Structure 1
């Protein structure tokens, strides 16, 4: 009686199918459960093989190598899962330590309170002869344009007094800003906006990165959006 290699054995195939349907993310070989099951199957296969057509050493070595590889992959998956969990815990601790600190984050939002006035910042790729900041409301309408004149390369900031283009007080709420900069030749200069504020709370979200609540800002920002701590 000839026997097929373990990889094509009907009994093994049934075990793999059962394992794949009951274990999320498990490989077919990991569904065997442990090494004892594999070796019991191997011994059974060797015991019942055709004496006139026995399994070759090459086939036996190949099956042992397949099991060893599958076991190694399973161990690696477990190690990666543990490492991911540790990284998530580390991120949560880092985020919690930011409460009460002033952070700089990748954002172009402005929050205008009842008292009026807000501030923002940006980074210029090179020196600019003419820098303007356009402030828009939640509907995307430009309410005011600030002419900041010439500025040097690097981190820059601005203050908005909370008024619209006519000088009237803008309604409290959420706004955004866009920076337009040009050099002496009229060529555009890159400007990357950023926001800043004090972290008042941290939300530890299951399955995702922690988020930070910034004082005076509606909504929250992901920890990955923080580009500096002051």
Structure 2
């Protein structure tokens, strides 16, 4: 469900500020209690056996450290709220744009589909397996590019292993890569999809895609 990022951010920022103000108010009350107690003890001390001032200095130093920590936390909370607001505005600006993001989904439309992948290391053999939602293998595309790190794009013509056209729909792609020694190479698949909305989950800005997926804003590879 899409929400107004400014409203959501305002609520979070207000609660954070209230918490910081409450901590500072409580700290101020502790200061007053401490000074009242200190004054009473000094006024009633035995002149012949004065109290050691080291203890009071140590307690004052501890209260000062607590005060600095509260102020620092308050500043960090304010900065976090500002960054959340910036991320929210960036997410709103991406609605309607087409992005490339991590996904194993493959949408076949009008007999054509496209997906991307990236290899974690150099490979000797790379292939893509296209399956239905229940795991049935429809097509294997072999002899794909083997260079590491680059984002490779692959087109699927919508034909199955027998060369017959597959009805439009959503399918799943698995990238398999082996190095020269036959060991598996780490892979990641990507998909291009239009951003249709945005929401928040635990302070994280997520984008809703036309293929039904929800991805974090920070995982977007490219924007068109």
CA shift, 1:58, in A, is 0.9
Give the counterpart of 1:85 among 51, 76, 81: 81
Which residue of 193, 197, 201 corresponds with 1:201? Answer: 197
Alignment correspondent of 1:172: 169
1:107–1:55 distance in 2 versus 1, CA, 3 Å: farther
Kept in 2: contact 1:29–1:70 (CA 8 A): no
What CA distance in whole angstroms lies between the structure 2 residues aligned with 1:206 and 1:191?
27
Q: How far did residue 109 of structure 1 move?
A: 2.0
SS at match of 2:142: strand
Question: Which residue in the other structure is 2:220 paired with?
Answer: 226
Matches within 5 A, 1:23-102: 31-34=26-29, 35-51=31-47, 53-102=49-98
Q: Is residue 163–residue 170 contact of structure 1 (8 Å, CA) maintained in 2?
A: no
Give 5+ residue unaligned stretches, structure 1.
1-22
By how many angstroms is 1:66 displaced? Answer: 1.0
Aligned to 1:124: 119
Taking a change above 3 Å as real, the CA distance of residues 36 and 212 of structure 1, as seen in their structure-2 partners, is same
Question: Structure 1 or 2: larger helix share?
Answer: 2
Asked whether the equivalents of residues 135 and 145 of structure 1 are also in contact (C-alpha less than 8 Å), the reply is yes
Larger deviation, residues 86-95 vs 153-162 = 153-162
1:145 positional shift: 3.1
Cα 1:71–1:126 change in 2 (3 A) is closer
TM-score (norm 2): 0.74
2:132–2:138 CA contact under 8 A, matched in 1: no
Q: Distance in 2 between matches of 1:94 and 1:52?
A: 70
SS across alignment from 1:91: helix
1: CA distance, partners of 2:209 / 2:26: 47
Q: Distance in 2 between matches of 1:213 and 1:59?
A: 59
Q: Which has the higher contact order (CA 8 A, sep 6+)?
A: 2
CA 1:54–1:30 in 2, change beyond 3 Å: closer, same or farther? farther
Name stretches of at least 5 consecutive residues in structure 2 with no aligned partner.
1-17
Structure 1 residue 54: Cα displacement: 3.3
